[in-house]
Amino acid sequence: MSTHLMHAETEPSFETTLLVRDACLCLHAQRAARALARRFDLALKPVGISSGQFSLLMSLNRPKPPSLGSVASLLAMDRTTLTANLKPLERRELVETSHDGADRRVRLLSLTAAGRAVLTKAVPIWKEHHAAIEAELSDSGRLRCDLVLLSR
């Protein structure tokens, strides 16, 4: 009788492991994200922010202050993660929060002058390093497109 018909749960073979390791997009995305984050962390160290903080500060550089929830959604990040990420930036007074007059539940996020100054120094660094990374890829536009798809 075959194991399939018996519904026996045999342990995954080494071959299965290799297949999963090679194929798993979740793993590959994590690996790539970690490697990229470290790369930008290092590049942005002179400015004193991490890659994630750069993305967050950038997302706050708008004409009108966005709400916490909309930024979390933009970054595909849990609301509570964003709350935590804001703490060190508020402590360093790069970001400040205010309340929406119309809807008192909403917490609006905005950059301080110091926050904008940090971005001013960070953007040229980002441009330089991002260009280097795109040069390593054959079609960065297509990759971006796929990543956006995966983010829903």
Partner DNA sequence: CTTTATTTAGTTGATATCAACCTATATAGT
Partner DNA sequence: ACTATATAGGTTGATATCAACTAAATAAAG
Instruction: Report DSSP letters for the chain, one per residue.
Output: --HHHHT--PPPPHHHHHHHHHH-HHHHHHHHHHHHHHHHHHHHGGGT--HHHHHHHHHH-SSSPPBHHHHHHHTT--HHHHHHHHHHHHHTTSEEEEE-SS-TT-EEEEE-HHHHHHHHHHHHHHHHHHHHHHHTSS-HHHHHHHHHHHT-
Asked if 21 is part of the footprint of a copy of itself (rule: CB under 8 A), the reply reads yes
Asked if 28 is part of the footprint of a copy of itself (rule: CB under 8 A), the reply reads yes
Q: Interaction with DNA in 77-96: which residues (CB under 7 A)?
A: 77-81, 83-85, 87-88, 91
Asked if 16 is part of the footprint of DNA (rule: CB under 7 A), the reply reads no
Binding mask 31-70 toward DNA (x if CB under 7 A, else -) reads ---x--xx--xx-------x-xx-------------xxxx
- Minimum distance, C-beta of residue 8 to a copy of itself, in the bound complex (Å): 10
93 binds, among DNA, a copy of itself, none (CB under 5 to 8 A by kind): none
Binding mask 111-150 toward DNA (x if CB under 7 A, else -) reads ----------------------------------------
Distance in angstroms (rounded) separating the CA atoms of residues 95 and 7: 56
Local structure of 99: helix, strand or coil: strand
Distance in angstroms (rounded) separating the CA atoms of residues 145 and 152: 11
Give the footprint of a copy of itself on this chain (CB under 8 A): 9-12, 14, 16-17, 20-21, 23-37, 39-40, 51-52, 55, 58-59, 61-63, 74-77, 116-117, 119-121, 123, 126, 130, 133-134, 136-138, 140, 142-144, 146-152
